[in-house]
Amino acid sequence: MATTKKNKNYRPIGVFDSGVGGLSVLLELKRVLPHENFVFLADQMYVPYGEKSKSVLVKRVYKIADYFQKYHNIKMMVVACNTATVYTIGELRAKCSFPIVATVPAIKPAAQKTKSGTIAVISTPVTAKSQALKDLIKNNCKNINVLNVGCSHLENLVEQGILNGDYVNNLLLKYLEGIKDSDADCLVLGCTHYPFLKKSIGKILGSRIQIVDSGEAVAKQTRSLLLTNKMKKNPRSRGANLYFTTGDSAQFSKVASKLLKKKVKAKKVKI
């Protein structure tokens, strides 16, 4: 039977991250695009991406793109990871024929929201030091002071499903104390793992500082690209979601179920 345009539009959107952090982006994608089908992959054999070289990351994302295309026939891919975006997005777009949505720290929205003229961004140490983040700040923050804080270990806590408690609070306080005492009125969450710590972060910072993440912007950009490329699925039925990991499927399923507040069952794949 010939493949119709309708059938093509029912193809899934591939979403990947080094671990469970990308689920925060998937939540926004599902909220904005409830009728689309999604395939989520956590590349947990290689988590955290922030400790890998660019050459290793490029090889990984190539393999992930090939996996999505070969086994799931995706129509679009979302890179739900700031570190992967920073170091591989150019190579990915040059290699792949389908549209790709990147995830970058929400510096521009924060710069537009600030009234004090000071914003802060927390991210992995690799993202914090990256030229891509420096360029984002340079291009969007003229006459705005930016506090750029690299954070170790927060990503790993979320991977384990540890979102609160004394250890989490003490670690967050270490990174947020200077921001809390500054004039910053917006905090950018520059890692897709961090939205799952939003409640704990908010308790430390209080209501004066607005927390901004990239999920909503990524979801809106995905919707825009679907419309531009005439790929949007018919809204008659709700979308289906599949979950995969290159790591421990039982552990991923347990943590993902906690983060998404619903039962998740993932399969392990070798990539």
Question: Do 124 and 188 lie in a common domain?
Answer: yes
Bridge partners, 267 (sequence order): 244
Count CA atoms within 13 Å of residue 124 on its CB side. Answer: 26
Structural domain total, the chain: 2
72 is in an annotated binding site: no
Tokens of 223: 């919707």
| Predicted pLDDT at 6 | 56
What CA–CA distance (Å, rounded) separates 146 from 118? 6
Question: Do 192 and 64 lie in a common domain?
Answer: no
What CA–CA distance (Å, rounded) separates 75 from 229? 10
Question: Do 143 and 167 lie in a common domain?
Answer: yes
Question: Do 171 and 202 lie in a common domain?
Answer: yes
Domain CATH for 258? 3.40.50.1860
50 is in an annotated binding site: yes
- Report the catalytic residues: 81, 191
| Domain around 41 | 5-103+216-268
Count CA atoms within 13 Å of residue 42 on its CB side. Answer: 31
193 is in an annotated binding site: yes
18 is in an annotated binding site: yes
| Predicted pLDDT at 69 | 97
Final residue before a domain boundary, out of 213, 234, 260: 213
Instruction: Identify the CA nearest to 223 among candidates 90, 28, 83, 40.
Output: 28
Question: Do 111 and 209 lie in a common domain?
Answer: yes
Question: Do 24 and 84 lie in a common domain?
Answer: yes
Question: Do 120 and 195 lie in a common domain?
Answer: yes
Question: Do 34 and 97 lie in a common domain?
Answer: yes
Final residue before a domain boundary, out of 213, 232, 258: 213
213 is in an annotated binding site: no
| Predicted pLDDT at 211 | 97
Could you give the 3-state DSSP secondary structure of residue 129? helix
Question: Do 113 and 84 lie in a common domain?
Answer: no
82 is in an annotated binding site: yes
| Predicted pLDDT at 234 | 78
Between helix 23-32 and helix 215-228 the angle, nearest 10°, is: 50
pLDDT digit of tens for each residue in the chain (271 aa)? 334 555 788 999 999 999 999 999 999 999 999 999 999 999 999 988 877 888 999 999 999 999 999 999 999 999 999 989 988 999 999 999 999 999 999 999 999 999 999 999 999 888 898 898 999 999 999 999 999 999 999 999 999 999 999 999 999 999 999 999 999 999 999 999 999 999 999 999 999 999 999 999 999 999 999 999 999 887 777 899 999 999 999 999 999 999 999 999 999 999 9
